[in-house]
Amino acid sequence: MPPPLEALETLPPEQRLAITWSRAEARDRLASMLAFDGRLARIVTRTREPMLGQMRLAWWRDTLGLRVAARPRGDVVLEALGTFWEGREAELIALVDGWEQVLHEKPLSEDAAGRFAEGRSAALLGVYGGDPRSDRPGAASRRAAWCWSLGDFAARVSDPGERAMLAKLGLARSGPDRRLPRSERGLAVLGSLGERALRRDGRPLMEGRGAAIAVMRAAIFGG
């Protein structure tokens, strides 16, 4: 059995809310994916020497390519991924590849930011790939994942020009259909908060009283 999910990582409030509003069958996948995303983010943001960061990311990529039984023991995030993502590691490897774009590009280019968002979106959308009540991700689901990927990242960036680029790129994907299926309410919460952050020039996702309203609207109505 994997360790209790609350032992994985200290997740930010918006991510805990998204997990709470998810269906039971998606909660463990979402929690473990977000914990892994946080682990990769710390590798990238705390590494001053890109080659060392690349080596750490390569370790995760190579380890996820192994059979679960052949992987090292003792890391709570890795064990949770082995339990809830077995057979679907391609999306997790896409997440590693996405974060590697950020490691190499300083300052971050729009092209690299797009590749980062694609990798991060693939992992978030992969949370719902095992739900029989959910079809392949539609346009609204892809847009929500994209907005969270870039909105959450923009809130971490200190350079105003880089934040402006991320906001423009994140809001470039739009469409008339924003409502997500009930099985993806966790994604709806993250996507709504991500879009709100982008429209506020990369401000933190839960900043301001309007954040709680955005969460409730997304959780109840799907977007």
Compute mean pLDDT per 10 residues along the chain, 223 residues long, and list them: 56 93 92 96 90 95 97 94 95 97 87 97 88 62 96 94 95 78 94 96 94 94 81
Is 133 part of a structural domain of the chain?
yes
Cβ distance 182 to 214 under 8 Å?
Answer: no
Is 80 part of a structural domain of the chain?
yes
Sign of CA dihedral 49, 52, 56, 57: positive
The tokens of 216 are what?
Answer: 């409730």
Cα separation, 205 vs 15, in Å, equals: 10
**Confidence (pLDDT) at 7:** 54
Number of folded domains that form the chain: 1
**Confidence (pLDDT) at 48:** 84
Cβ distance 169 to 114 under 8 Å?
Answer: yes
* Domain around 47: 16-221
Q: Which residues contact 45 (CB under 8 A, 6 or more apart)?
A: 156
Cα separation, 106 vs 119, in Å, equals: 18
Q: Which of 99, 98, 60, 101 is nearest to 81 (CA)?
A: 60
Tell me the DSSP string of 13-50. HHHHHHHHTS-HHHHHHHHHHHHHHHHHHHHHHH-SSH
Is 190 part of a structural domain of the chain?
yes
**Confidence (pLDDT) at 176:** 63
**At 195, which helix (H) or strand (E)?**
helix 185-199
Cβ distance 205 to 211 under 8 Å?
Answer: yes
Cα separation, 113 vs 161, in Å, equals: 13
Is 53 part of a structural domain of the chain?
yes
**Confidence (pLDDT) at 147:** 96
The tokens of 94 are what?
Answer: 């896409």
Is 1 part of a structural domain of the chain?
no
Is 210 part of a structural domain of the chain?
yes
Cα separation, 107 vs 161, in Å, equals: 10
Cα separation, 90 vs 209, in Å, equals: 38
Is 5 part of a structural domain of the chain?
no
Is 166 part of a structural domain of the chain?
yes
